[in-house]
Homo-oligomer: A and B are copies of this chain.
């Protein structure tokens, strides 16, 4: 157990935006929500998963929708409390703690803001170890935890309680409701017991994001290369360096979909990288080869500062480093790859772990 203060939040916001792999919403907006809550209600209690009683109820809280919409529809802290309390009343049981469902600019911060406001702890666990665009794309789903009962709230005061036959139906129904409700909504979802959290979650995620944020922030003072600092702490690989030459993006079906192109610089001169995304980056490839795919993480960083850049933050001419980070091993199972691998997203590409792709390439040379 430890406390998260405003400096922690600043660092978590940066690290989570990096693990958010282009999606997860604007880190600035999320940060402001959490900082405001801590200023008003004091530091947040962060528990390790082991500190949660096996039969205690834990409920992840999150925003759902296209990050492009979230930027224009800044959430108040109140909406998610509405979703959380509606679910609590329906379940007829106190909720012991909340957790983030994923790492990402907004979704790392919403549980922190809620925890501060309600005076409950956050557990240092999520369901992705990164960000993914759909509700069933969590390790809880791989362990047969039901996404429902779940509650969706919008800023107008509408709320929906879902009870579905499986988590894919949850995604379908919640996504269509999100579109009707204006493109982004607040969720209380995947209610689970402490023992489910322990066996199904990805642990230490908030601490990891904080350390990534600290490394990026501290690199300048320590006069180390911030990109190298990120690669060291995440176990990642540099995939490409280039300048953004094109971004096409449309908000469709409740997602931000599109692709961006980078023209190689330095040792990548003459090559072009294409990044495909659905909220998050899915595929990184040049004309010749695939460099990385989901579920491995593909992050675009500012080449000077190593600050992560979300897909909606990509600007023509910006100099970037694209890195690949091995995903949590929970995703590297048959069910994991079926749930979040490149074929699920419609790409005719086999999943090969990013470290193998990098090694094969080095072997070629």
Complex Cα spacing A162 to B161, Å: 6
Say which size band chain A's interface belongs to.
Answer: 10 to 19
- Interface positions of A from 145 to 166, Cβ below 8 Å from B: 156-165
Of the stretches A8-16, A43-51, A169-177, A343-351, the one at the interface is: A169-177
Complex Cα spacing A160 to B172, Å: 12
Does A265 reach chain B (CB closer than 8 Å)?
Answer: no
Task: Evaluate contact between A157 and B161: CB separation under 8 angstroms.
Answer: no
Does A181 reach chain B (CB closer than 8 Å)?
Answer: yes
Does A314 reach chain B (CB closer than 8 Å)?
Answer: no
Does A4 reach chain B (CB closer than 8 Å)?
Answer: no
Complex Cα spacing A176 to B158, Å: 14
Complex Cα spacing A195 to B323, Å: 66
Contacts of A176 in B (CB 8 A): 176-177, 179-180
A163: contacting residue among B159, B162, B172, B180, CB under 8 A: B159
Complex Cα spacing A69 to B66, Å: 31
A164: contacting residue among B158, B164, B172, CB under 8 A: B158
Task: Evaluate contact between A161 and B158: CB separation under 8 angstroms.
Answer: no
A180: contacting residue among B156, B158, B172, CB under 8 A: B172
Task: Evaluate contact between A177 and B173: CB separation under 8 angstroms.
Answer: yes
Task: State how many angstroms separate the Cβ of A195 from the closest Cβ of chain B.
Answer: 26
Task: State how many angstroms separate the Cβ of A162 from the closest Cβ of chain B.
Answer: 6
Cβ proximity bits A258-276 to B, threshold 8 Å, 1 near / 0 not:
0000000000000000000
Complex Cα spacing A169 to B179, Å: 13
- Interface positions of A from 246 to 302, Cβ below 8 Å from B: none
Contacts of A173 in B (CB 8 A): 158, 160, 177, 180-181
Task: Evaluate contact between B157 and A165: CB separation under 8 angstroms.
Answer: yes
Contacts of A156 in B (CB 8 A): 165, 169
Q: Given that A156-B169, A180-B173 are known contacts, is A161 also in contact with B164, CB under 8 Å in the complex? A: no
Contacts of A163 in B (CB 8 A): 158-161
- Interface positions of A from 197 to 242, Cβ below 8 Å from B: none
Task: State how many angstroms separate the Cβ of A7 from the closest Cβ of chain B.
Answer: 39
Contacts of A164 in B (CB 8 A): 157-159
Instruction: Name 9 interchain pairs, CB-CB below 8 A, sorted by A.
Output: A158-B164, A158-B165, A158-B173, A160-B162, A160-B173, A161-B161, A161-B163, A172-B180, A176-B180
